[in-house]
Amino acid sequence: MTLAVEPTVRFIDETSGQRRVLNYEFETTVNADLELLKNRLFAGFNLLYEPEVTYNPTGDVQREAKFGGSAALSLRIASNVLVGAEVWYLQHYDAANLTAFTGDAVMLGPTLYVQFTPKMFMTAAWNTQVWGREIGNPVSLNLAEFQRHRARLKFAYEF
């Protein structure tokens, strides 16, 4: 089990590209892994809470948060390679305390893990939004608060 925190500060709005904003984001995740078949099949679970506050040049302050969870399965296909799939369910709120629900989304996609050396590895994941709902919008995807596609690529070296 792992607790991960990732604080981020931005000076450009990530959605509109507006400059001279001050944005604070604090992604917090709890990760748990489980070995289902010895050294062969693994399950992973994540919980996410990501509060965010943005100060605009006009003096407006926007607060929002994402909350959700994921489940994943990975299969070892070689001694140093695992492939898998993951599904995320995410909710968006216009308040950091999760009181102003604005919509949700389901993201689904493949994962890859490659161990290059005992101290160096790479992970990759690609998700696409397969279902979503924005409050007050009948469209079957929530593209107002969530991406249509998201990809994550991570190289790590332990020292």
Q: Which residues contact 95 (CB under 8 A, 6 or more apart)?
A: 63, 64, 65
Give the domain range for residue 63.
2-157
**pLDDT tens across the length of the chain (159 residues):** 999 999 999 998 877 778 889 999 999 999 999 999 999 999 999 999 999 999 988 889 999 999 999 999 999 999 999 999 999 999 999 999 999 999 999 999 999 999 999 999 999 999 999 999 999 998 889 999 999 999 999 999 999
Against a cut of 0.85, is the pTM above it? Answer: yes
Number of domains in the chain: 1
* 84/43 Cα distance (integer angstroms): 9
The number of angstroms, rounded, from the C-alpha of 29 to the middle of its chain's C-alpha atoms is: 9
CB contact at 8 A, 81 and 137: no
CA distance linking residue 46 with residue 34, whole number of Å: 12
